[in-house]
Every structure is written in C-alpha cells, then in structure tokens.
Structure 1
Amino acid sequence: MKKIAITLFLVLGSLTIQSQELTWQTDMNRALEISKKSQKPLFLFFTGSDWCGWCIRLQKEVFKTPEFAKWAKDNVILVELDFPRSTPQQPEIKKQNAELQQTFAVQGYPTVWFVKGSKKDGKINLEKLGSTGYVAGGPTAWLAVADKILANKPTKTAYTTN
C-alpha cells in the first residue's frame, strides 16, 4: 500500500511540474495565429539566452516561477526572440529576430515588448503596448509592471514578413 501511495504521489508531483511548463513560440507567424485565436497580446522576449547574465537572472527569478506561469497562461502568448552566441539557430529565425530587434530598436537585453498583432496582405502589424526589462523584486514586482503595461493604449508599428 505504501508503494502505491508513493508512486501516486510521484506521478501527481510530476504532472504538477509539467503543468507549469510554459510554451515559448519562436516563429512570429505561428505566435500571431495563436494570439488571434486566443485574443491575447504577444509577449516578445528579446534575450541572449546563453550569454546574457541579466536575461538568465530574469528567467530564474521571474519566468520560471509558478506565479509567472499562471499569469502568462492567462494573459499573453510568449515569444522568445533569442540572440545566442554559441547555440545554433535556424537562418529564418535568426533573420526574423534581427528584423524584430531593429523594428523595436532593442539595444540591450533583456527587453520585453508587449504588443497586439494582426496580419494583412503578408504584413504583420504590431501595436506597441509597452516594454520593460529586468525588474528587481521577483515575480510580484515584475508582474505589477507587466499588468500596468497591458492596461495601456497601443501605438502602431509594422513588421513585414516574406
């Protein structure tokens, strides 16, 4: 009986951990489709995943917490726009990320842009809601900033895909 209880506990524990896993999109077209269906804004995370200390710290202190996981599932579609130094990347993702970096004038990492997107005639139109980066104070402080940004009015910009 003890073995069954322990096994059940381990299975339920692993399901809880898996349910907190977040899905980060890397393809803007796919992210836009999901955003349109869910009516949620896009969360564009510009990062240097394998070299940027502040990016790694933001991931650890905020993005990998249960509080953030719940908030993200309820509020946004996550998009990782990575600029790694040693991790290989598909050429089309590299190009897409560079174009978006230029569109949003990202000069430092981590940078998070919240946007509402639409697509018309092969162009992705993005309405900027606001941006942030690393915020000290863990998930509570970071999410307070994010909630404030999501409450703002958008400004329009365009990003063209081929």
Structure 2
Amino acid sequence: MSNVTKYKWFFRLLATREGRRILLIPTVILLALSVFTIYQMELNPKPERVEMQDGSGDIKLTKRSALIAFKLPQEVGEVRDIVGEDMKVTSYDVFCDKDNNIKSAMVNVKADEKEAKEIIDSYQKKYGLTQAASAWNGDAGGFDISIRYDRKDQRIDIDLKKK
C-alpha cells in the first residue's frame, strides 16, 4: 500500500471547503492555546505565587524564562533594590513569610565572563564584598549576600538571606 492511497482520505478532505474548515478550526484553536501558554510562561511579567506546603504559611514568588531575560517586578521589593532595577534576570525565587516580609532570595543573571566581572566589581564597590574560595560574600542592607559566577552556564547566582 503506497502512501498516496494510505492518505487519500486526507487529500479528499482538503479538496472540499467543509474539509478545510474541519482541519483549519482545530488547528487555529491549538495554535491560539500554544501562543497563550508561551505568553504565560515566558513573557508575562508577574511572578508565580506558590504557598509552601510545609505548614509555615510561607510564600514563594518564582519566575523562570528560557527564551528572554527580564527585569525584576515590583512584587519582590527589597530584592529588586539590592540586585538593581536594570539587571536582566533569567530566573528568581523569593521566599516570603505570611506578612510578605522577604526571608531569602535566589536570583540568576545571564552574563558572559566580561559582563560578570563588571557586575561583580560594581557589587564589590557598592556592598564591600570579600572574595571567598568560590564566591563573593558581604552585607547588603540587612541581607547576607553571596555572589557566584558559573563559567559553564555563563550565569551569575546571587543569594540573599535575611539576617
């Protein structure tokens, strides 16, 4: 059985106006749902709000993007002030208590080696960081800050913990 005879019904369906509608309408619906899903995952600026299941009532604000870098939203408050408003972030996790007070945060910034050196130098001047074995540590406005550069993934990891 050749492919032409195997799919003859499909070609007959495409040859008629009703057949094209039968195929076009579900295709358009699936395409619209796919575009909406991509928007929600990649382009929507609002973080996903997840209540922790450990009984503490803590909240995790999280956002990840594989396609584009984005700015930190207003919802993360103090973290945005420490990291910088203009910093292009690829992912973040911010942990808050019941009253929306930030407890800790993890922010990832995509940067090549040259950009990473400039960013780390600016943080060293701003927060007086000291270099440890694999990270730069310091104090940033009530938070302990730790910055690491991952050469393999070409990203900067910024960890903040409330004192």
The TM tier, using the shorter chain, reads 0.3 to 0.5
Higher fraction of strand: 2
Higher relative contact order (CA 8 A, sep 6+): 1
TM-score (norm 2): 0.39
Structure 1 or 2, whichever has the larger Rg, is 2
Higher fraction of helix: 1
